[in-house]
Structure 1
Amino acid sequence: MNRIAEFNLPHLYEIFSDLDEIGQLDVTDALCQVVLRDPEINAVLPSIYASYTHFFSLHETQLAREILACKEPWKMLESFPLYARYKNLIKNHIQNSSQIKVLAFVGCGPLPVTLLLFSKLYGIRCIGVDRDPEAVVLAKSCVKHFGLEKEINILEGDETALSKIEWDSVLIAGLAEPKERIFRNIHLMIKNRKSGPEKSISVCYRNYSGMRQLLYLSVQPEQIKGFRKIKEIYPAGKVNNTLVFLECE
């Protein structure tokens, strides 16, 4: 993974595009399970997952810094190869959610594209949280550079930073960890709300399904105890994340 850091952003994207294409193959569930259970493939999955996480951390950090040096940040963001994926993913989220007033995003990263688009395209107030101090500094700078500092608030910390803040929808990033603790704390926060019915709180997480499980480990049933799935929106085209909507049991 140290070698990954030696490449610039275009090279990083090129390296991982091949694996990305494999993840987006349209195969049956049976064939997918055969591939994932193959001993040789299974042995290298932890390394793939770690590299995938490292790749996204590096490329978001690099892109954030490049955008901060650019006088036209929106134009530069829209030219980013993965921009259309974020836009389609967020469009699917909006179309399958009840009205969102304040969105909380766990694991926003150094370049909170998700929050920028929720705010810019749909006028939704947003709160982002991240445990990485460097990511938080960059995210705050990016939000200000895009002129959205009044609409988007970035906090340093884990999901518990949301416990004293008002929000009516929470989104858990695909790479946010550890999943079991995050869902447990989100569940406790919702249960402890003193006003409004629990079902009025929207909970969604981004997951990896099908062959995309070669990119990153999918969320397991035991990690979402206290919730039940109410809807799954599978990705279409070049989008990697499945959107899974939950409600408290």
Structure 2
Amino acid sequence: MASHQNPNSESQIPAELLTARIMQIHSSISKLESLKPSKQVNSLFTQLVKLCTLNSSIDVKVLSPELQKMRQSLILLCGRAEGLLELEFASFITKLPQPLNNLNLFPYYGNYVKLANLECTILSQNGVVQPKKVAFVGSGPMPLTSLIMASHHMKSTHFDNFDIDEAANHVARKIVSSDAEFEKRMKFHTCDIMELEEKLGEYDCIFLAALVGMSKEEKVMILGHIRKYMKDGGVLLVRSANGARAFLYPVVEENELMEFEVLSIFHPTNDVINSVVLVRKPIF
């Protein structure tokens, strides 16, 4: 799947203007008393996401140290806000009669559907079709990817979702417990990925959420750990970010994947935020 870059660079937003606007929003977000969903919080993050998905040629690697610091801070703020939005929403739908039929009420649901379609296409192009067991690392209170994959794409696959936060898993379990068939195929485990060893060898495919490993060092360490214990020939789907989207999520560079065989790197140009990087553990 080739990424279609817009040849008309006139429609690109200049990097200086983009960073100036992002700095303004960062400044407003930093002053908020709480990152819990509210009119003001939602409005600021909506503006931020819109800005970061505009057509631009920005390269975050060449930003000044001051802007790098701001970007790191923004990624952490986005991560916290996303977690709070998911938790509030997940808690809300567990009170509805059929939580699984109301996932589409989540504000970014459409985005997840597009991302899941994209990831499934990339997986099947690389020979991963209906895997028996899948792990999702960093599933959170609202495990949308697993839920969309399990209901639309991988209808017989068993999903193990891992998150470090028991409160998140507790809510996620409640969503799934409303459907006995689904509950059999979807489990939630509270643990730190760095403590998982032999179990990682059980999966045909492992998903690594964008917000697992917020700093470069941490991400590299996690990738190395997963590679060590995953099965030979197994695939790892890593979510990354590219261009201005890197103000929202950490970036995984190709040189951090030297120990893997890189199968595919896709950078979306629509409203999907995450880049998709698919790698395989070589069979020696």
Would you call these one fold, judging by a TM-score over 0.5?
yes
Q: What is residue 158 of structure 1 aligned with on the other side?
A: 192
1:63 aligns with 2:89: yes
What fraction of aligned residue pairs are identical, expressed as a percent?
Answer: 23
Q: Deviation of residue 3 (structure 1)?
A: 1.9
SS state of the match for residue 21, structure 1? helix
Q: What is residue 167 of structure 1 aligned with on the other side?
A: 203
Q: TM-score, normalised by structure 1?
A: 0.86
Q: What is residue 240 of structure 1 aligned with on the other side?
A: 273
Long gaps (5+) in structure 2? 1-29
User: Which AA in structure 2 matches 1:209?
Assistant: N
Q: Please tell me whether the aligned partners of residues 136 and 207 of structure 2 are also in contact (alpha carbons under 8 angstroms).
A: yes
Moved more, 201-210 or 141-150: 141-150
Give distance in 2, aligned partners of 1:24 and 1:179. 23
Pairing 1:12-51 to 2, within 5 Å after superposition: 12-28=41-57, 32-33=58-59, 37-38=63-64, 40-51=66-77
Q: What is residue 217 of structure 1 aligned with on the other side?
A: 250
Q: TM-score, normalised by structure 2?
A: 0.76
2:227 to 161, 164, 187: 187
Q: Please tell me whether the aligned partners of residues 232 and 245 of structure 1 are also in contact (alpha carbons under 8 angstroms).
A: yes
Pairing 1:90-109 to 2, within 5 Å after superposition: 90-97=116-123, 98-99=128-129, 100-109=131-140
User: Which AA in structure 2 matches 1:161?
Assistant: L
2:106 to 80, 95, 99: 80
Q: What is residue 4 of structure 1 aligned with on the other side?
A: 34
Moved more, 219-228 or 119-128: 219-228
Aligned length: 238
User: Which AA in structure 1 matches 2:107?
Assistant: P
Give distance in 1, aligned partners of 2:269 and 2:132. 26
Q: Please tell me whether the aligned partners of residues 210 and 238 of structure 2 are also in contact (alpha carbons under 8 angstroms).
A: yes
Larger radius of gyration: 2
SS state of the match for residue 199, structure 2? coil
SS state of the match for residue 59, structure 2? helix
Give the superposed CA RMSD: 2.2
Q: Deviation of residue 45 (structure 1)?
A: 1.4
SS state of the match for residue 77, structure 2? helix
